[in-house]
Amino acid sequence: MEYLTNGIAWSIVQRMMIDAPNFEDKTGEDEEIALTENNTGDILNYVNNLM
């Protein structure tokens, strides 16, 4: 949320998140998510639902 309070547009924050997607697995380690044509819509929907 610091991004929003410092005047950075939400669309820029979304793009930053999409450019470097990862998740924490059950072991607590981060893993990257490969952005493909098949999952692009799912990732964009997830990011848009964060608001």
pLDDT tens digits along 22-37: 666 667 666 667 778 8
Q: Across the chain, what does the average pLDDT equal?
A: 73
* Residue 9 confidence (pLDDT) above 60: yes
| Range with the largest mean pLDDT of 3-12, 19-28, 40-49 | 40-49
Domain positions in the chain are 2-48
* Residue 3 confidence (pLDDT) above 60: no
DSSP-assigned states of every residue in 6-37: TT--HHHHHHHHHHS-EEE-TTS-EEE----T
State mean pLDDT over 5-34: 71
